[in-house]
Structure 1
Amino acid sequence: YNGRAETISLNEATNRIVLSSLGTQKATLWRRTRDNGPNFRVDAQRVIYSPRNNELVLDRTVSGQVVPAGTP
């Protein structure tokens, strides 16, 4: 994982990564599902990601790039 935001936090109890930004700035999360696979990227005001459940919650999404599973 790679992320960029004004604040980034990890809640180990719920296994959630929270990235958030204020104003016009956006939080960005990049994730690569395989070592040589493509990147997954989302831009939003707030991004909440749970690696355990592979769950993604976006608040005020600006853009995203999702590559389907199995794509080289």
Structure 2
Amino acid sequence: MKIAVNRGRCTGIGICESISPAYFEVGDDGVLILVRATVGDADRAEVEEAVRSCPAAALTIVDD
């Protein structure tokens, strides 16, 4: 499973980072950085919560 970011929609609020900091980081410039794009099974629920919580709907999960 991989994380996809729609950069045109992302507003850099950082809710994803607060839920799953091992995968998401918002830089000082407000740009989202994917720390890791591939999600392991152990982290799936956490990352899915972060994706669902994005107010801009900029994140999606893509199954491999």
TM-score by length of 1: 0.30
| Structure exhibiting the larger radius of gyration computed from Cα positions | 1
Higher helix share: 2
TM-score with structure 2 setting the length: 0.32
Q: Which has the higher contact order (CA 8 A, sep 6+)?
A: 2
More strand by share: 1
